[in-house]
Structure formats: structure tokens, C-alpha cells
Amino acid sequence: MHSFERGFLSEPFDEVRHQVRLNHKSWHALLHEVNIIAVELQHQITIYSEEPRELFGAVLFARILSSSQAAVILLEHGLVAQANCVLRSALEALFSLGAIATKPELVDRLIEAHKAEQRRAAKNITLWQHPDLKTIAAEQQDSGKLEEFLNDESKSISTFELAEAGGYEDWYRSLYMTLSWSAHGAAIDLERHMVKDADNFLIEMQNEPDTQNQEVAWLVAIEIQIKAVFELAEIFPSVDKLVFEQYESRLHALAKVLTD
């Protein structure tokens, strides 16, 4: 392993990528098999832009693919915690996709939630404290640009509500929770930066690629893509799920080694 004197801004990442792929060969191979067909599906579906459910479904599917791909890039650079953060984002998109696949009427709630988020942003602008920011906020208020958003009464929808609607309640209470540890910098996740001796005493802090024990993150990236295809098929009946059902069986067989 090369010395990473500049942390993750060091140069020698070809060796890191090679080591990650070598250590997780079966996971890497399956991910790329799933990914290439999922990307093909993205370009094969016919989207009627005047149909909100189809438009939202296609856009969410694209976000899930790009986020899970980004997570793989991070994993291959040994950035496991950062990959978890991006996988959490992909999971949120999957919850939304699953919700509108199961309950089409929730598309309207997603549109309404967007307006609620705009209201929240406008409210935060009015609470800025720095003098420069307060000047900008005052200008926006005086122009009347914020009033439309501040007076809107649209309701938000929570991540849990979306997960529950799509049948991912257990995922929210387990996988989403653990991925959130990385996103929020929880103590249980920050421990990965500590190097301890045999007696569990802290020796130093580390900021170098982690090329080992990435199996769970690879599993999550693969499963998210597979589930996304299943949800997409509920919106676009032309999507063929058969090959992805086979991929899911292979993934579960591969995952079994983690519990044996």
C-alpha cells in the first residue's frame, strides 16, 4: 500500500481500486452485471411527460442509478463512510419510487411536498442573522418574492411516510438508520478513523483508503438497483423483471456468506 501523506488527495489510487476489486471480486462482478442492464432500461422506457407518475418514476430511477454508481466510485477509492452517505440518498429516492409505484396518488403529495420545501427555504431566509445575509433577505422580502412561498400551505411528506407507503418500513428502521450514522457523523461510525492496539488503546487517527470489509456496502448498492427496477416495472409494465429476479437470487446467495 502506498503512503497517503495527503489523505484522499494523494495520487496513487489505481492500486487502491485494484485492491478493492480484488477483495470484492464477486460483488464487483454482480454489480456491473445488474448496472449495465438497469442503465439500458433507463433508455428503453417510453415516458409520457404529461403523466406525472411516469415522469417522477423515470427521474427517481435515474437518481437511484447515478447515486448507487457514485457509491461504487467512492468504494473503489476506499471511502466507505462517504459511500454510505450516498447510498442513503439512493435509498431515499427508492422510498419515493416505491411509494408512487404502490400508491399512484402519492405523486400529488410529492409535488405538494416540493412546495412545502420551498416554504421552508423561504422561512429560513427570513431567519438569517449575518448582516450581509440579512440585507439580502430584506431585499427579497421588500420585493415580495418570498410572500408567495411563505403563504403557501402545502404539506410536507416525511421519508418514513414514503418508506412505509412503498413497503420499506423495515428498511427504514434498519438499513436507513445505519447508513444515517455515516451521514450524521455518529460516534459509532467515526470509530473507523481510530487505530487501536491489541489492548484497545488508541494509537493514532487514520485518513486512508479502507479496502477491506466493504461487502455490506456493495450488497446495498446492488440491492437498491434491483429493487428500483422492480418498482419501475410497476409504473412501466413493459419493463421485464425476470433477469433481475435471477440477479436477486444470486445476490442473496452471495450475501449468505456474510451470515455463515
Phi, psi torsion values for 36, nearest 5 degrees? -65, -35
pLDDT at 197: 87
Residue 205 backbone phi and psi in degrees, to 5 = -100, 145
List the one residue out of 230, 252, 229, 210 whose CA is nearest residue 30: 252
The model's pLDDT over 215-227, given as tens digits with 9 standing for 90+, comes to 999 999 999 999 9
Which grid coordinates belong to 245? 429476479
Q: Please give the pLDDT value at position 199.
A: 87
For the chain, what is the mean pLDDT?
A: 92
pLDDT at 259: 78
Per-residue pLDDT, averaged over 34-45, amounts to: 94
Q: What is the mean pLDDT of residues 46-51?
A: 90
As a whole number of angstroms, the distance between CA 214 and CA 210 comes to 8
Q: Which of 217, 243, 212, 244 is nearest to 228 (CA)?
A: 244
| Reported confidence tier of residue 207, pLDDT bands at 50, 70, 90 | confident
Q: Domains of the chain: which residue ranges?
A: 11-103+213-259, 105-162
The cell numbers describing 97, all together, are 419510487
Each residue of 124-145: pLDDT tens digit?
999 999 999 999 999 998 888 8
Q: Which three cell numbers stand for residue 17?
A: 481500486
What pLDDT score was predicted for residue 103? 97
* Residue-wise pLDDT tens digits, 56-81: 999 999 999 999 999 999 999 999 99
- pTM comes to 0.91
Do residues 68 and 87 lie in contact, with contact meaning Cβ atoms separated by under 8 Å? yes
Rounded mean pLDDT, 29-39: 96
- Predicted confidence at residue 2, as pLDDT, reads 45
Between 16 and 228, the more confident residue is: 228
Sequence-separated contacts (24+) of 21-24 with Cβ below 8 Å:
21/76, 23/211, 23/212, 23/214, 24/214, 24/215, 24/218
pLDDT at 5 over 70: no
CA distance 27 to 165: 30
| Cα–Cα distances in angstroms (integers) from residue 17 to residues 36, 68, 77, in the given order | 20, 17, 6
